[in-house]
Amino acid sequence: MGRARRWRRALAGAACTVVVAGCGGGGGPAARPSAGPDLTRLPQATTFTTLRGLPQDPAPQAETDGTVVHPATPVEVAARPGGPAVAALPDRQLDGPTWVPVVAARAGWLQVLLPSRPNGVTGWVRDDGRLTVARTSHLVRVDLARRRLTLWESGRRTGAWTVAVGAARTPTPKGRTFLLALLKPARPTFSPLIVPVGTHSETLETFGGGPGTVAFHGWRDASVFGKAVTHGCIRVPGDALTRLSRIPLGTLVLVT
């Protein structure tokens, strides 16, 4: 948690470039031991980690049915249904509850998007009573070519805004991800809220003390909207940021 606190202090007083590479906070509390493997010895599926031996997203541009899950306690993550645990998904991270979207299901197992590197990494978790299963009717879309953010609910478009996206050397990564957390900087800064997602910059390993997490956030100078000028984050107008902050965590974000 020390590294998380250091990063949040840096975020609170730094410029936008910190957000681009560090819109996550901490890795959350260490996983608690449970029956089966010692989860404290496994890599933790947080925004700070790189996970090996897990499958990539099988359909990175597809919508889902909105199913999201929250582990009541840390749970094992396997590379295949019934396989050995290779990572642990904590119940909390970035000082909030962990919610991840379900992208596939198979007889008592759910394949979920994970917030770690590499982008698009997934894992299988048991649907064994330790998961809270819910469904969000929301969908967030980002069209990089048009610099356009659209919000959808129950198949109906509820808002659209022109936004700023990653520059050519630091592009916003494409694919499907999800709303990971909602952060409020401790001091006034370039944005009143930060909404990290489950992907990272593909050109910056770290920046400003953070792990390169991509996020939605505001920006004081409206002249940037419609331009490709960021280090990977998506700068949005104030009303769009407010709307994003009200969407449930785990909601799918499609970046095309």
Number of other residues whose CB lies within 10 A of the CB of residue 22? 29
Maximum alpha-carbon separation in the chain: 54
217 noted as active-site residue: yes
**Which ranges in 23-179 belong to alpha helices (H)?**
none
- Of 253, 252, 176, 206, residue with least CA distance to 49: 206
138 noted as active-site residue: no
- Of 101, 119, 120, 118, residue with least CA distance to 110: 101
SS3 assignment, position 147? coil
- Of 117, 94, 115, residue with least CA distance to 203: 117
Active-site residue among 70, 138, 200, 217? 217
Tokens of 132: 């809270």
Tokens of 59: 């359909």
Active-site residue among 16, 23, 231, 233? 233
- Active site members: 217, 233
